[in-house]
Structure 1
Amino acid sequence: MIDVTATQGTQLRQQAAETAQAPATRRGRLALLGPGLVLAAASVGAGDMVTSLSGAAGYGMALLWAILIGVVLKFSLTEAVGRLYMATGQTVIASLRSVGRWLPAAFFAFVLVIGLIYGAALSSVASLALSTLFPALPLRPLAVAIALVSAAIVYVGRYALFERVMSAFILVKFLGMVVLAVAMLATTDDLPGLVSTMRPRLPDGSVVTVLALIGGVGGTAGIASYSYWVRERGWQHRSWLPVMRADSAVSYAVTFLFVLCTTVVGTGLLYGTGDTISGNDGLAALADPLGADLGSAARVLFLATFFFVTLSALVGGFNALSYLLADSLRTLRGIPETDATPHMAQSSRPFRAFLAYCAVAAVAVTFLGQPVALVLTYAAVGSLILPVLSGTLLVLLNRRGIEPLYRNKIMSNVLLSGAFVLFGVLAVVQLKETF
């Protein structure tokens, strides 16, 4: 039974959002940015660091152009997700049904599998960073504690508090990586040689690395969840469209700068040495040679940044996955979009139930030792989200029923088509390698 009072309150909030005008000045609009910072904090994780450092070890900064392409494609997806919500008042999950009745169920299954392993994988990586800093800390119990604390942060706070926490995370990890990059540039023995590696090129045998860089930068579930964070801010009137675009642009500007700094560090430390990193263990081991080159303070700063990078991705991921699962369930149950807030808000029972699912799964999988088959399944299923999302946005935002202001223009169609093809190819490669 739907709570009538809650429903009326939802409708009043929606009416207020529709009549609220965005600030007219650029400074006023920038002061309102927030969901994009949440997305940047949630999307930039250990995987981005591993991918960019591995690329820097082999090719220096020659593949920054590939990272830039990835950032542009992810921005086009995020902007389209926000624009779809502002055009229709519906989230991506609710809109999937009009493209294919089976899509909400498929998306629910995708996210359910991701939620099963996500917390265990990231909490284990975060605990690795802390145990490297403090060797006396036991790895597995620490991973469990980090997963539970991350879930608690999402559970106790409404969106405003969650956004402030995520903004603090992005500030800490961004400043940490900038300081390391500046220190690397200031102390390198061959600054011209390091800068010369920035010349764009496509080295022989680097196609797989290039595709990984393009597809790896930024997030997946976070992009699909962007409309929930936009909704929490009440950005529905057409005057908020420039604010949303600026917000998503800032998100990917921060993401690109972070990966640029990581690439500078990787180039200065690894390029030309024959050394590389292998997975998250190698990422933690990188702290020792970094400390040998730049001093013990740099080692501590790197590990602390590594920890906050992973922690913010874990907290943001728990929030994003819980929103997606609660919205998918609402859509499958046929609850109207106008009654969505009581069923999807951070304080709602479905949201908190799915948050508990992610937390319990993280603890269980951590104690099971993260079975390889489950990790591979998670990677394969996760690779399907972006091609489904980009294809859906291409269909929905080209319909005549969409107001021209929100409808795809030529550039949006080009970028979304490119994203559909690229991420589709990457999904096929991932599925082939898994199965």
Structure 2
Amino acid sequence: MSDQGSPGKLRTWSIVGPGIVAAATGVGAGDLVATLIAGSRYGYALLWAAVIGCIVKIALAEGTARYHLSTGSTILDGWQSLGRWTSWYFGIYIVIWGFVYGATAMSATALPLSALMPGLLPNWVWGAGVGILGAAFVALNRYDTFETVMKWLIGLMFLIVVSIAILVLPDVPSMIAGLVPRVPDGSTFYTLGLIGGVGGTITMAAYGYWVNAKGWHGPEKMGVMRLDNRVGYIVTGIFVIAMLIVGAELLYAADIALAEGNDGLIQLKDVLAERFGNFIAVLFLVGFAATSLTSLLGVWHGVSTLFADFVQNMRGQDTADRGDLHRSMPFRAYLFWLTFPPMILFAFDRPFLLVIIYGAFGAFFMPFLAITLIWLLNSSRVPAEWRSGWLSNGLLGIAAALFTLLCLNEVWGLVAGD
């Protein structure tokens, strides 16, 4: 009995991939800091929000891939069927988002590398180098190689962060109490952030394309896609909870305030060195670098694929005639756009007006995704047997409401100048 079970488990693990890639791509350095700060300020009180966030992301990613598999078309085709306004919005959004995010991803990846090898190279050189190497890797390798490298990086960051969480000795009774929903005074922003922010970006829309790149086509692959999606977001959910544990046990208990932004992770490295020694601190930086690199590579591949499909869609090409998006000129053009123009922001430190525009458009994307998925998956565009049931509609409805609240919060912050 056990002889048959082991190979089955290994085969199951070898099958999954796109879900882990999608989930981990959405977790960047900024998300880690937000989770750490939530743990450092409120202990385990917001653990329930991280769990709900994981469930909501499973529903969103499943919805995008279900549309791909059940219709044989892409999410871009679905959006265009709702009206030309979707193409205008998405086209403007993806261009602005890519320019600003390119600089953000390269800077975030440069930070731990610079800290691991202090004084060797300036931060901007690390950032530019990683961006160029990432673009070259994505352009020159097919999906299977990309997925394999991403899995190794994800495994590394998962092992390091979860090990550190175990090392700080989590308070299990407090964790169990943290599963009961409550919102402490002043924690609304962090609560919404844990539910909606971590692992939730434009790359969620790329999941269906990674599913197709894996070779999964048609409704017969629906079961394996759902398994893959759940495994990916459960792994990421455990990762996020581990970061919350580190914040709660290492910072909340010692009343240490963590800085906002990527510098907060470097500050945590100093706290780890003081408590556990330099080896653990360096190990954390390695995990930090792996986390930032998975986010960069995932965006370089996934969002470039989205852009390539957008261009082909605007040209009126049928899905079957679009060929290998990864080998197309629009894919390579967007790779260039993500990598080289954003380097200008290294010198100008992200112009204020551009950040305002980026924030406004970015805040509207996740509600756009959740609401359009509800629309598409309950319409005649999808075969009746694959339309959303009460559970999917309920979770997507919760996602739409939560992301709309986050959107309003972001827009209010921009208007108020916070």
- Do 1:42 and 1:312's aligned partners in 2 also have CA atoms closer than 8 Å? yes
Look up the match of 1:92.
Answer: 75
CA contact (8 A) 1:390 1:419 kept: yes
Pairwise CA distance, 1:33: 1.0
Q: Which residue of 2 aligns with 1:236?
A: 217
Mapped to 2, the partners of 1:396 and 1:431 lie a distance apart of 27
CA drift of 1:234 comes to 2.4
Amino acid at match of 1:86: L
1:44 aligned counterpart, secondary structure:
coil
The answer to whether 1:224 aligns with 2:208 is: no
**Residue 313 of structure 2: aligned partner:** 331
Provide the residue aligned with 1:164 in structure 2: 148
Q: Which of the numbers 279, 284, 291 marks the counterpart of 2:261? A: 279
The counterpart of 1:293, out of the listed 262, 268, 275, is 275
Unaligned runs of 5+ in 2: 1-7
For residues 45 and 324 of structure 1, the distance between their equivalents in structure 2, rounded to whole angstroms, comes to: 19
SS at match of 2:384: coil
Q: Aligned ranges for residues 347-366 of structure 1 at < 5 Å?
A: 347-366=327-346
Q: Quick one: which of 34, 53, 56 aligns to 1:70?
A: 53
Alignment CA distance shift 1:27-1:309 (3 Å): closer
Most deviating of 277-286 and 200-209: 200-209
Q: Does residue 362 of structure 2 align to residue 382 of structure 1?
A: yes
Rounded Cα–Cα distance in structure 2 between residues aligned with 1:379 and 1:317: 18
Q: 2:291 aligns with which of 290, 305, 309?
A: 309
Amino acid at match of 2:412: K
Change (3 A) 1:192 1:260: closer
How far the C-alpha of 1:27 sits from its partner, in A, is 6.3
Cross-structure match for 2:65: 82
Alignment of 1:109 with 2:89, yes or no, is no
Matches within 5 A, 1:6-85: 28-85=11-68
Amino acid at match of 1:238: P
Deviation at 1:415, TM superposition (A): 0.8
Question: Are the counterparts in 2 of residues 105 and 328 from structure 1 also a CA contact under 8 Å?
Answer: no
**Which stretches in structure 1 are left out of the alignment for 5+ residues?**
1-24
Within a 5 Å distance, the mapping from 1:243-258 to structure 2 comes to 243-258=224-239
Counterpart code for 2:299: G
The 10-residue stretch of structure 1 (83-92 or 37-46) with the greater mean CA deviation from structure 2:
37-46
Deviates more, 1:231-240 or 1:83-92: 231-240
Shift of 1:371: 2.3
Aligned letter for 1:179?
S
| Matched residue, 1:423 | 403
Residues 363 and 151 of structure 1: is their aligned pair in 2 closer, same or farther, counting only changes over 3 Å? Answer: same
Shift in alpha-carbon separation, 1:416–1:199, aligned structure 2, 3 A: closer
SS at match of 1:405: helix
Tell me the equivalent position of 1:139.
123
1:434 aligns with 2:417: no
Which residue identity lines up with residue 389 of structure 1 in the other structure?
Answer: L
Task: Give the TM-score normalised by structure 2.
Answer: 0.92
CA contact (8 A) 2:110 2:126 kept: yes
Q: Is the 8 A contact 1:42 1:313 kept in 2?
A: yes
Q: CA deviation at 1:263?
A: 1.1
Structure 2 CA distance, aligned partners of 1:367 and 1:171?
A: 34
* CA distance in 2 between partners of 1:30 and 1:138 (Å): 40
The amino acid that maps onto 1:208 is F
Cα deviation for residue 78 of structure 1 reads 0.2
**Counterpart for residue 192 of structure 2:** 211
Could you say which residue in structure 2 is the equivalent of 1:180? 164
Identity among equivalent positions (%) equals: 37
- For residues 87 and 337 of structure 2, the distance between their equivalents in structure 1, rounded to whole angstroms, comes to 19
Give aligned pairs, total.
405
Counterpart of 1:373 in structure 2 is 353
Secondary structure of residue in 1 paired with 2:217: coil
Letter paired with 2:363? S
Q: How big is the shift at 1:143? A: 1.3
1:317 positional shift: 0.8
TM-score when normalising by structure 1: 0.89
When residues 192 and 391 of structure 1 are mapped into structure 2, their CA distance, relative to the original with a 3 A threshold, is closer
User: Matched residue of 1:279: which SS?
Assistant: coil
- Give CA-to-partner distance per residue, 1:288-309, whole Å, 9 cap, x none: 0111111111100111111110
